[in-house]
């Protein structure tokens, strides 16, 4: 169980706090994730922005890679969902979390009446989950 050390509301976690928590929880400068489904898609979208207006990119210790779990049963092979494995640097996590928040903040899907298809909630939730593992609760 993760111990919550900070609570912030409305996506306002200061970047300095995030950096401090990363140094504490990820002293090896490595944060690993294995993502499926919508989480995977939103992460790819955030990563593929390349170098942004802040002149930053999501950086990795190892190249992101895909794999698929498989298991045997009743003489058949079953396949799980495609997984995206990420080994992100601490600085990369700061950039990724900022982009996920920007996605949520800048989304104008309600004006176009396609809120159901939109991933802004997924973006916000993925950010919240990452922060939570670092002792930060964003409500």
Is 26 near Zn ion (CB under 5 A)? no
Contact 139, 6 (CB under 8 A): no
Is 98 near Zn ion (CB under 5 A)? no
In this chain, which stretch among 2-10, 36-44, 80-88, 101-109 interacts with Zn ion, using CB under 5 A? Answer: 101-109
Minimum distance from residue 6 beta carbon to Zn ion (Å):
27
Structure tokens at 6: 């900070």
- Binding residue (CB under 5 A) for Zn ion from 5, 60, 107, 137: 107
Cα separation, 92 vs 100, in Å, equals 12
- Binding residue (CB under 5 A) for Zn ion from 118, 125, 135, 137: 118
Cα separation, 116 vs 54, in Å, equals 30
Is 100 near Zn ion (CB under 5 A)? no
Structure tokens at 86: 């990420």
In this chain, which stretch among 18-26, 36-44, 69-77, 106-114 interacts with Zn ion, using CB under 5 A? Answer: 106-114
Contact 58, 46 (CB under 8 A): yes
Contact 18, 130 (CB under 8 A): no
Cα separation, 90 vs 95, in Å, equals 9
Is 38 near Zn ion (CB under 5 A)? no
Structure tokens at 72: 């045997």
Binding-residue total with Zn ion (CB under 5 A): 4
Rank residues 17 and 118 by Cβ distance to Zn ion and give the closer one: 118
The footprint of Zn ion (CB under 5 A) covers 107, 109, 118, 120
């Amino acid at each position: 169980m993760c111990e919550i050390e900070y609570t912030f509301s409305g996506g306002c976690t200061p970047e300095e706090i995030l950096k401090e928590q990363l140094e504490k929880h990820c002293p090896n400068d490595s944060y690993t994730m294995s993502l499926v489904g919508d989480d995977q898609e939103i992460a790819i979208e955030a990563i593929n922005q390349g170098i942004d207006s802040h002149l930053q990119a999501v950086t990795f210790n190892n190249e992101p890679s895909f794999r698929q779990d498989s298991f045997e049963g009743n003489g058949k092979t079953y396949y799980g969902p495609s997984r995206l494995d990420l080994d992100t640097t601490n600085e990369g996590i700061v950039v990724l979390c900022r982009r996920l928040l920007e996605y949520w903040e800048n989304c104008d899907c309600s004006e176009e009446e396609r809120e159901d298809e939109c991933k802004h909630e997924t973006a916000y939730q993925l950010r919240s989950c990452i922060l939570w593992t670092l002792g930060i609760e964003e409500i």
